[in-house]
Structure 1
Amino acid sequence: MKNTAELATRFREVILNGTWIANTNYQHQLTGLGWEIAVGESGSLNSIATLTQHIHYYINGIRHVFEGGDLKIKDKYSFDFEPVGSQEEWETFLHTFFNDAEKFASLLEQMPEEKLDEVFVDKMYGTYRRNIDAMIEHSYYHLGQIVLLKKIVASAG
């Protein structure tokens, strides 16, 4: 299997369909989740909705670069989102999130192998491979938080 296909598979595992690393994924954790739990707060912790929007922000920012665009995302804005106000808004967001994740994975699969070792936008960001690996690792980090938050918020309600 070529490296870009392997990375796309790893990305899909954490967001869409895998169970190998965490025995779960975003789609499994979030599909069917009530918006009240998704926006539920526990002290000063970010909500499930905020963490999911945060991951989506980075997926879209990197995907935009994959499509030939500029890197427009900034860390300081990566938690700035309108609150989710209903089940319909939550489900619409999830639909967009999962579709954008699949687009990201598809673009990654189609990427020429040699692109992985090229500079990603600017030398300070490292290579495409480094940024893709970081996206996968970052997603697992927040997936773990989401799993715990579901338990905390559900038990408090």
Structure 2
Amino acid sequence: MNLREIIDQLNEVYDGEPWFGNSISTYLQEIEPELLSKHLGTGHSIGQIISHMIAWREYVIGKLTGVDLKIEVGGENDWESRQFEAADKTELYSKFKSTQKRLNALLSEHTDELLGKTVPNHTITFEKLLCGIIQHDIYHLGQIYLLKSSK
């Protein structure tokens, strides 16, 4: 896989016509603001999942810009404990869109050579990290869809 293909997949999942269904931007637009607090049992709410997705996208952005962000899996900077309310929709969606624009801008500054480089303070390559964030987005998008459609 080359960098252009990864950028294309990132954009396809975000606002294209992915084979699995609606894109992230379509799903997010369809979520009624009052559903941000919706969760099942002790699971995370839609708002918490969106915030989690943003956190990991910001982590990738940090790695691309040389900022060593740390996320403790399961920790406060991984999953926010606060419950999101309808009033948070605009801010959450704006942050998500901002991470998409930032990822595109940063990746457009690089060549395929980036993909073989090791991520600072990691043992994985940027190719694995970038493919991973796409997979992460798709995984959580499925959770959001199930929460949105559950009664």
**How high is the TM-score relative to the length of structure 2?**
0.88
Kept in 1: contact 2:45–2:83 (CA 8 A): no
Map of 1:36 onto structure 2: 34
Instruction: Give me the whole-angstrom Cα distance separating, in 2, the residues matched to 1:31 and 1:71.
Output: 29
1:35 shift after superposition:
2.2
State the identity %. 22
RMSD: 1.8
Instruction: Give me the whole-angstrom Cα distance separating, in 2, the residues matched to 1:39 and 1:144.
Output: 17
Letter in structure 2 aligned against 1:148: L
1:44 shift after superposition:
2.4
Structure 1: give runs of 5+ residues left out of the alignment.
none
Q: State the SS of the aligned residue for 2:74.
A: helix
1:29 shift after superposition:
0.6
Q: State the SS of the aligned residue for 1:75.
A: coil
Letter in structure 2 aligned against 1:117: G
Map of 1:119 onto structure 2: 118
Kept in 2: contact 1:8–1:106 (CA 8 A): no
Map of 2:69 onto structure 1: 71
The count of residues paired between Structure 1 and Structure 2 equals 149
Kept in 2: contact 1:54–1:79 (CA 8 A): yes
Instruction: Give me the whole-angstrom Cα distance separating, in 1, the residues matched to 2:34 and 2:110.
Output: 39
Once the two structures are superposed, the pairs formed by residues 1-150 of structure 1 within 5 Å of their partners are 3-15=2-14, 17-77=15-75, 78-85=78-85, 87-124=86-123, 126-150=124-148
Letter in structure 1 aligned against 2:11: R
Select between 113-122 and 29-38 the one with higher mean Cα deviation: 29-38
Q: More helix by proportion, 1 or 2?
A: 1
1:31 shift after superposition:
1.2
Kept in 1: contact 2:24–2:141 (CA 8 A): yes
